[in-house]
Structure 1
């Protein structure tokens, strides 16, 4: 099963963990066979939030919500269960400066597409 590990850091902690340390951890994950994907993100002042309401799109500079910690990056990992995902997430270097949210990836239920195609 895949798990998304979201890395959250306060603005003043964004560079507390050297990139080389995060890169080395990603290499360790790759070597273990648990790495699926991962990237660091630019600071929140580069973000754009998009909303569509009643067919109208609106754009807002910045993140979706005001928070003390911001989404700084992610690791997508493959793990046999939540406990194994938590084990790897606890080793993500920025966890020492912020927090890591571990969330299982949900597969889309596309059974209605298959049923529609079968009747077409």
Structure 2
């Protein structure tokens, strides 16, 4: 089964992190990305905000904005797409996301 794992980031928490904490999260993500690549389950990944556009409807017109604009809450900081046996296995992958302490992780089954 395919699962989309969305990584959400609380901007205020990330901004409050010390330089050492930010270096540690960068190092942890390097290790996590190696784990994903070596697992054989990774099917795709991306980090944001680079290259993000958002389309919203306003007065019947589609407006394109650069960046990730959500009405409230955390912003999506990245995602990975994995192929594993079931939701239990997807949760085990998602538990390893280093940035969970700065936001949250959401797992969605992909139909197709």
TM-score bracket relative to the smaller structure: 0.7 to 0.9
Which entry has the higher C-alpha Rg, 1 or 2?
1
Count of matched residue pairs: 105
Question: Relative CO higher for 1 or 2, CA cutoff 8 Å, sep ≥ 6?
Answer: 2
Q: In 2 relative to 1, CA 60–42 (structure 1 residues): closer, same or farther, beyond 3 Å?
A: closer
Q: Secondary structure at the residue paired with 2:70?
A: coil
TM-score relative to the length of structure 1 = 0.71
| Runs of 5+ consecutive residues of structure 2 not aligned to the other structure | none
Using the size of structure 2 for normalisation, the TM-score is 0.75
- In 1, Cα distance between equivalents of 2:6 and 2:32: 15
Equivalent in 80, 86, 89 of residue 91 of structure 2: 86
Change over 3 Å in CA distance of 1:38–1:56 after alignment to 2: same
| 5+ residue gaps, structure 1 | 108-120
